[in-house]
Structure 1
Amino acid sequence: MAKYTWDEQRYKRYLREGRGQGEGKNYKPWIKVQDFPSKGWSTKAPGWKSNRLHHFMSQLELQYFYLLEWSDVVIDIREQYPLLDFSETEKISEELGIKYPTDRETGFPIVSTTDFLITVLSNGNKVNIARTVKPSTELDKRRVIEKFEIERRYWAARNINWGIVTEKEIPLTMVKNVEWLHDAHQLVSTCRSDIQELTYVTAVLKERLSERIKPTHEILRELDHQMKLEKGTSLYVLKHLIAQKQIIVDMSKELKIGQIVVEEVIVNPQYGVMTS
C-alpha cells in the first residue's frame, strides 16, 4: 500500500479539489477516510443536515457527530476543517515558541485542522463555532496542548468560539439512540413496501400511538400483521417518526423496542414530507 506523503504538490491538489471549501452538501472535508487507508480507525456516515457523506478519523468524532445531528440549533456540520492560512498559524507557533508541524520527509508545513466547524442558530442568526474532539487522556500531553493553543488563537482572531470536547461530555445512551435511528431519517422503499405505502403506514401509526391504548411494541406487531407488512416495517416507520421528531420520546433512556414510551405525537398532515 502506498505511503502517505505530504508535500506542496498534494497541498495544491487538495485546493484544486475544493477541499475545506463550501457549505452544506457542497462542503468537502480537508481530510478524507481514503487518504489514510492503513491508519487506525476511520469511517464515513451520511448526514441528515448536510445530505452528504461525512468523514471521521475517530469513534469519538462519530459519537459527537450524532449529537450534532440531533440538536435543533445545529444547521450545518463541517468536519476536518482546515486552518489554511499558513502565515498566520506559523506566526502563532513562533509567538508561542513552539515548532510548527511539518512532514518528516518533505519538511512541508502540515495544514492543521479543527475536527468540527459547526453552524448554529442563535437568536435567529447563523453563528459558527469550532470544536476539537479528543480523549481526555490526551490532554496531559504537551504537544497536543501546543497544537490546541494554535487552534484556539487562530479561531479567536476570527471571533469564533473554540472548545474541546472529550468523552466526558458525550452521553453514550443518546449517541446510541441516534445511531439506531439514523438510517430511518428519510423513508426509503423496501422490497415489499413503496413510499406511498410507507407514508400511509406512517399516518396510521401516528393515529394509533396518539390513542395511547396499547404499549408501543404491541401496536407495531399488530400493524405489521393487519396490513400484511414485512416484519419490522412498522418499527422502521416508528424510527423514522422519532428521527423526524414527529414522535417525542426520552432520548436519555435506551430505546428498547419493548420499553419505548411515546411522550407526545406531533400533528403534521404532511406525513411523507416531514422536516426536523
Structure 2
Amino acid sequence: MKKRKNVTMQDVQRWIAQGLGQGEGSLYRPFFYVRDVPSRGRSRMVLGLKTGRVHHYLSDLEYACHLLAEYEPSVAGIREQFALLEWEETQEIADRFGIRHPIYPGTATPTVMTSDLVLSLVKEKRPSVAVVCVKPFSQVDPVNPKNSRTREKLFIEKVYWEKRGIPWQLLTEKEIPLVRAQNLDRLRVHMVAAELNWLDDHMESFLEEFNSSWGNDSSFLTILSRVAGRTGLSKDECSYLFGRAVWLRLLDVDLDARVIHHDMPVPRAQRREAHFV
C-alpha cells in the first residue's frame, strides 16, 4: 500500500470494508501500517509475543508502551492504530463540542481517528479493555498554546471511549518507565529466538545457580561465568536464559533501577514494580 495521499470518501469506505483497524487477536489488522504514513521518530515493525502477528508503531514511545504491555501479565492482547468507528461518531462528537474534526491533508475528507493501543485485559478472570494514547510531552503540554489543536483531537478520542465506559489514559515520557522499557527491549531477543528453545529444559538449574551466585558486588558477567561453569552451559546460553527468566518474571530483577550492563551488578528488586495498566 502506498502512502495515503488525496484520500477520498471512497478510499475510507474501502479501508473500513477491508476490516482495517477492526477485529481481535492474530487476525487484527491496524488501520494503517508504518509504510502508509510519516512516522513520528523511528517507526517499528515487531512480532508480537502475545498475538503472534506483526505490530506497527510510529514512534519510540509507542514501541516502549508495547513492550510494557507485553510484559504485563494481565494484558492478553494488543491492538495498535485502532479505528474509532463508526466513522461518523467522532464527527458527531466534534460537532457537539464545537471542535473542528481532523481531515486528511489536502482534502475535505474527515479522518478516521485512531487510538494508539487498545489493550485486552484479564484481571481476576474478568476480561476488560483499556486504551492508551501516547504522545511526547512537548506536544500536549497545556502551558503551550500551540498544543491546543492536538489537545482538541485527544478530547474527541477521550469522549469516544468514555461513552463506552472504557478507561482511556494519555501517557508521555514523563509517565512511561523508559528504563524498564529499554531493559525489556534489550532482553526481548531471547523471547523470540526459537532455535534456542531447547535451553528451557535447563531453566530450573539456571535459576538455582543464578540466585546462589547473585551478589550485590558481582557484575552480571561474573555471575554468568559462575553459572556457566556450574551448569556446563556457555555464557551466551546463560544470557539467553537470563533474558527469558526476566521476561517470564522468574527473577526478581529491578528493571527500573538502571539499564542492565555486563560490567555492572544486576539490581535486585526490593518491591514489585508499578503495573503499566
Tell me the TM-score normalised to structure 1 length. 0.82
Of residues 217-226 and 54-63 in structure 1, the stretch that sits farther from structure 2 once superposed is: 217-226
Structure 1 residue matching 2:164: 3-state secondary structure: coil
**What is the root-mean-square deviation in Å for CA atoms of aligned residues?**
2.7
Q: Deviations over 1:88-137 (max 9, x none)?
A: 21111111112222224332211001111112234431111222111112
Q: What 5-or-longer segments of structure 1 have no aligned partner? A: 265-276
Which whole-Å CA distance do the structure 2 matches of 1:159 and 1:96 have between them? Answer: 19
Structure-to-structure mapping, 1:1-276, within 5 angstroms: 4-5=4-5, 6-36=7-37, 41-139=42-140, 140=144, 141-189=147-195, 195-196=197-198, 198-212=199-213, 215=218, 217-224=221-228, 231-254=235-258, 255-257=260-262, 258-261=264-267
Displacement after TM superposition at 1:41 (Å): 3.1
Q: Alpha carbons of 1:8 and 1:230: their partners in 2 closer, same or farther (altered >3 Å)?
A: farther
What is the CA distance between 1:150 and its match in structure 2? Answer: 0.9
Q: CA-to-partner distance for each residue in 1:123-167, whole Å, 9 max, x for gaps?
A: 431111222111112124111111111111111111111121111
Q: Distance in 2 between matches of 1:106 and 1:7?
A: 8
Task: Classify 1:226/1:153 alpha carbon distance in 2 versus 1 (closer, same or farther; 3 Å).
Answer: closer
Moved more, 63-72 or 201-210: 201-210
State how many pairs are aligned: 259
Moved more, 245-254 or 32-41: 32-41
Task: Determine the structure 2 residue equivalent to 1:267.
Answer: none
Q: Which moved more, 1:10-19 or 1:136-145?
A: 10-19
SS of the residue 1:169 aligns to: coil
The code of the aligned residue for 1:179 comes to D
State the 4+ residue runs in structure 1 displaced beyond 6 angstroms: none
Structure 1 stretch displaced more, 13-22 or 80-89? 13-22
Alpha-carbon distance between aligned partners in 1 of 2:125 and 2:202, rounded to the nearest angstrom = 35
State the identity as a percent: 29
- Structure 2 CA distance, aligned partners of 1:128 and 1:195? 32
CA distance in structure 2 between the partners assigned to 1:64 and 1:70 by the alignment: 10
Q: Is the Cα–Cα contact under 8 Å of residues 44 and 54 in structure 1 kept in the other structure? A: yes
What are structure 2's unaligned runs of at least 5 residues? 271-277
Q: Tell me: CA distance 1:172–1:3, structure 2 relative to 1, closer, same or farther (3 Å).
A: closer
CA 1:38–1:45 in 2, change beyond 3 Å: closer, same or farther?
A: closer
Q: Could you say if the C-alpha distance between residues 60 and 261 of structure 1 is closer, same or farther in structure 2, counting changes exceeding 3 Å?
A: closer
- Look up the equivalent residue of 1:145 and give its one-letter code: R
Q: Is contact 2:39–2:58 with CA below 8 Å preserved after alignment?
A: no
| TM-score, structure 2 as length reference | 0.82
